[in-house]
Amino acid sequence: MRFYSNGKLLITGEYFVLNGALSLALPTIYGQYFEINYNNSNIINWTSYNNNRKIWFNCQIDKDSLTVKYSSSKEISRIIKELINFIRDKESNFLKSNGSTIITELTFDKDWGLGSSSTLINNLSKFSGIDPYELNTKFFNGSGYDIACANSNTSLVYRLNDDKKEIKKINFNPSFRDKLHFVYLNKKQNSLDEIKSFRESINSKIGVTEISEITERIILSKDQLEFNSLIKEHEDIVSKLISKEKIKDKLFDDFNGEIKSLGAWGGDFILASAIDKNPIDYFRSKGFHTIFNYNELALV
């Protein structure tokens, strides 16, 4: 059996999606495969490949006791054991009848922050029949927008409303998309730490209305100058409320256009909206070489 889930980009609402802000999210062209084959052993053989087909994690776990026989990472094998145990609480025979060989394969670099965890959770959900949002909440305590992206082939707006998920698929494909680029900042950001810090420090009501209004206006924007003004306004609000410097001010203050952080600030990808020429040479001159134009990364 083989399953696949899409990666994710959060265009608006970072942090504040946790508190109910209307947020714009894009599934990505890249994602993760999950393949399982059964055998007559007593072992779960798990191997995870990066996008270059190199193994970045593997382990062997006894299928009955879930004793780890070998692991290249104690922390990751602990999470896998906990995932299996959680699923077994609902489906008692999960991965228990036979030994198995499980292979996961990312089609993006695991350091890019495009959803190596959410795509795994969603693939496990497809395989086991367990609600992916329940799995996601139990292990990562995020908003769930990344799970929505994993199951969508088009852009969407996402909102938590009294713990209920409102998901609406839309067609966000702006006419000026040729001037939009996604740039990797050469640093993987720890989303779990950022979520914990935000929950502990920001009142649930602050900023939600303003961010939601900007999201609605961005979806409707037809003009790049208007779009740039809106993403700057978004950056100003988030910067003030989380007390972090805007990425444009910090690294790209001479960029002709606007730049917006995506997801947890300080790492992963940014969105660059260039006013005039193709900005690839500009970002390369700054030491950033992983650059996609809009249609190379966003699934629209």
pLDDT in tens, 91-143: 999 999 999 999 999 999 999 999 999 999 999 999 999 999 999 999 888 89
Tokens of 279: 């900005």
pLDDT of residue 206: 82
Separation of alpha carbons 220 and 215, rounded Å: 9
Strand (E) or helix (H) holding 297: helix 294-297
What tens digit of pLDDT does each residue of 228-254 get? 999 999 999 999 988 899 999 999 999
Between 173 and 157, name the one with better pLDDT.
157
Tokens of 295: 């249609």
Q: 300: pLDDT confidence band, cut at 50, 70 and 90?
A: confident
Q: 200: pLDDT confidence band, cut at 50, 70 and 90?
A: low
Q: How many degrees, rounded to 5, is the angle at CA 77 between CA 76 and CA 80?
A: 90
Residue 188 has pLDDT above 80, yes or no: no
pLDDT of residue 142: 83
Burial (CB count <10 Å: 0-12, 13-18, 19+), residue 261? buried
Give the β-pairing of 269-274 and 180-184: antiparallel
Which domains can be identified in the chain, with CATH numbers?
2-168 (3.30.230.10), 173-297 (3.30.70.890)
pLDDT of residue 285: 97
Region of residue 155 (left: phi > 0; alpha: psi -120 to 50; beta: else)? beta
pLDDT of residue 196: 62
